Structure 1
Amino acid sequence: MDDEPMWAADHVVAPTPGSAITIPETANKFAIKGNHLTIVKGNQFNGRTKTDPHKHIHEFLGICDMFKYGDTENEAVLLMMFLLSLTGEEKTWLDELNEGTIETWDEL
């Protein structure tokens, strides 16, 4: 039971062609550093029953708070990095949302 996903995966997966997350235009003014990507990917959430989504969000926000990209708002960094913090069924869930569904961190 530990390996069961939090949501039933017995349906046909039809990924959305574009991203559900709309990245703010300010994101074009900087690039995420490779070591920051590695840290986020090392703390991925897979949605298994023994994992805590609230803890994942708390840790994700803590990691992203360490990153500073000049005058860029932290929200742009959060939106860009969040997809990389998911794996497995959780990433599939996000990929299945309609393109442009999420425009702010609060919506996410």
Structure 2
Amino acid sequence: MRTRSNFYPSNSTATIPSRSNRRRIPNIVEPEIRTIEEIVPMVDRTMEELLQAPTEGYREAIVIPEILGENFEIKTNLLQLVQANKFYGFERDNPHTHISNFKRMTVTLKYRDVSNDAIKLMLFMCSLEGAARFWYEKEPPNSILNWDDLVNKFVNQFFSPSKTTHLKNEISRFT
């Protein structure tokens, strides 16, 4: 009787086939173990402070100049007026018209020791919504230093030079 062990003669040159339907073991990568050398910065903080979301780096794009006036306050009526005339950044929206209307609303304000540009810079972000608000939030922190910077960036974003060229070409074809 033949068994598996004596199926192949020991003096034979035949090779024993390897088993090919063995379960394959996946390659397991061992995680790298790192040791924490110092936890000293966290020692002086409470658990409540450690669990709070970080708030560093949330600075505004507009740099508001220092206001020297002691009794400065933006009235609620003005804030509501600005918020009622929002710019959404739609294709049909004209940024020049928005700037003109915005300046017309804020030119009436006169405060001692407070520049009109500072007031405009403070209120402008309240007049944005939708794509325009998204544009403002993407601006790098402290990148808008004065009213002229804001107007240039705003107009270039929502009334690009290509749009200006297109409108000039339409006007020249009209004649």
Residue type at the aligned position of 1:102: I
Which residue of the other structure, out of 128, 148, 156, is the alignment partner of 1:86? 128
Q: Structure 2: 5+ residue runs without aligned partners?
A: 1-56, 151-175
Q: Tell me by how many angstroms 1:69 deviates.
A: 2.0
Residue type at the aligned position of 1:26: I
Residue type at the aligned position of 1:24: P
After TM superposition, the structure 1 = structure 2 runs for residues 3-82 of structure 1, keeping only pairs within 5 Å, are 17-26=58-67, 29=70, 30-82=72-124
Q: Answer with 1 or 2: which has the greater Rg.
A: 2
Higher relative contact order (CA 8 A, sep 6+): 1
Structure 1 residues 35-72: Cα deviation after superposition (integer angstroms, max 9, x where no partner)? 10000001110011111111000000000012222231
The TM-score, its normalising length taken from structure 1, stands at 0.80
RMSD over aligned Cα atoms: 1.5
Identity of matched residues, %: 38
Structure 1 runs of 4+ aligned residues shifted over 4 Å read: none
The TM-score, its normalising length taken from structure 2, stands at 0.50
Separation (CA, whole Å) in 2 of partners of 1:51 and 1:44: 10
Separation (CA, whole Å) in 2 of partners of 1:46 and 1:27: 33
Residue type at the aligned position of 1:75: D
